Chain A
């Protein structure tokens, strides 16, 4: 079973993503901020990370930089409310960029693509 780490400071979205991705057959762990995410990454292996950008404490960009130092091979999806960050996402070494939406179809499709690569 593929393991996904969700980094998201909104509790409702953590819950939603966890349930919806579990339904798709993934094992999901959630982290409310960058610190929790890094702790989880040191504790257990993941096949993919979905992270928000604007979070309290260290933001998603700093988190991605840290992850690159730990594990370069792990695919990362940026999932944020800000469309305006989209043009920069490649420079942050993320693999995909999905703007938050009332439908999870795009996020689920990107996760499937990256895990089947």
Chain B
């Protein structure tokens, strides 16, 4: 017998250790595509909820360069409020989701949220004479402070803000990188912080630190990818623009010297016009590429879109004796996408296939049902094919095997397919040809043409 279990929502029973339930809730929330703020709220909720670690209040600092900045403070404002809130939250039927929603309100309510008190607190982590709470973060040490008023190492402003004698500082860090700090107390119940509370809080702190670090790395990576793409784009545009500009500049200078005759003047003007058209073409292609924005996909008939592409004189003019053979399965369901963009994507693919194929060769466009949910269209040529090294780079921006290629066509096709909820696969063999397989999601309706 095989039984399947989901990572999500393992149903913890009340007799199971609360540590397990707590860790389960936190890791499930990190598993979801929530924002970092939402996930930090989950951590703070876990630390303060009765079914979690059960502290009265949780204060969060986050690092910003070498600064530690107060960001949020979760908890009731007074003992009376605590009583009311905890009564509400312990009502049967109130689950974790409701508690988190309630806490979101607690954190952000204006103007009386506790967060307003912690936000002005900022500490430098690089200075020599650090005070608590910054010491805990800088040294990556958990600190349990008791009899706070007698402790000279505590920042007086912080002491005034927190207003309690006992609190626990839990640094958040991973891979030696300080991500922040959480400070916990039992301001209203006055319950002493025990070693089991510290153990649980440290577990939450480790998870939060690792989570914040991973998120930071992920964001940095996205930023770097963005910059790299921007750099490639800048180099590419420079090249596309500089050649025509050099020609335009040079032939214009000749016109201005008056040392050339009428025939040559006319020739120069024609060259200049041709180069300007080239510049215009670059701009048009770039604009088309940059504006791919398929927000609304509609069911449409692939066959009529493909017929429109194949019969377009723009494409037939360039065919050079290469036959395009269209073979679409009968009663093909409609597919989802933006027909205009999908048509342009097919135009790109078919034009590429025709260019890759020697005269007398053949390009086949074949469409059929893959299964109940997917329709697949295969654009196949009998051209020269591609080695694996080329195939791997095929969808990179500005990569082209053509002398005057912009390297945007296939990336455009990929973006259109992804925006339509579909995908593209490529198969190629040197000397035998290339086939692109485009997978579309089936729409609900049947194609009108049976």
Contacts and interface: CB of A to CB of B under 8 A. Distances in A.
Contacts of A104: 249-250, 253
B271 A12 contact: yes
B160 interface: no
A82 interface: yes
Contacts of A20: 250, 254
A16 interface: yes
Given A12-B271, A12-B274, A56-B403, A103 B239 contact: no
B390 to A, nearest CB: 15
**By CB atoms of chain A within 10 A, which of B247, B252, B271 has the most?**
B247
Contacts of A81: 238-239, 241-243, 246
B230 to A, nearest CB: 13
Interface of B: 235, 238-239, 241-243, 245-254, 271, 274-275, 403
Given A10-B247, A102-B245, A104-B249, 7 more contacts: A16-B246, A16-B250, A20-B250, A56-B403, A81-B242, A100-B242, A101-B246
Contacts of B403: 9, 56
> Interface size bucket, A side?
20 to 34
B246 A100 contact: yes
Nearest to A8: B243
Nearest to A19: B254
A12 B247 contact: yes
Contacts of B271: 12, 15
A13 B246 contact: yes
A82 B235 contact: yes
A54 interface: yes
Given A19-B254, A56-B403, A81-B238, A13 B249 contact: no
Contacts of B235: 82, 84
Contacts of A102: 245-246, 248-250, 252
Nearest to B240: A81
Nearest to B271: A12
Contacts of B241: 81
B260 to A, nearest CB: 9
A41 interface: no
Contacts of B248: 102
B263 to A, nearest CB: 13
20 contacts: A10-B243, A12-B251, A13-B246, A13-B247, A16-B246, A19-B254, A56-B403, A81-B242, A81-B246, A82-B235, A82-B238, A82-B239, A84-B235, A99-B242, A100-B243, A100-B245, A101-B242, A101-B249, A104-B250, A104-B253
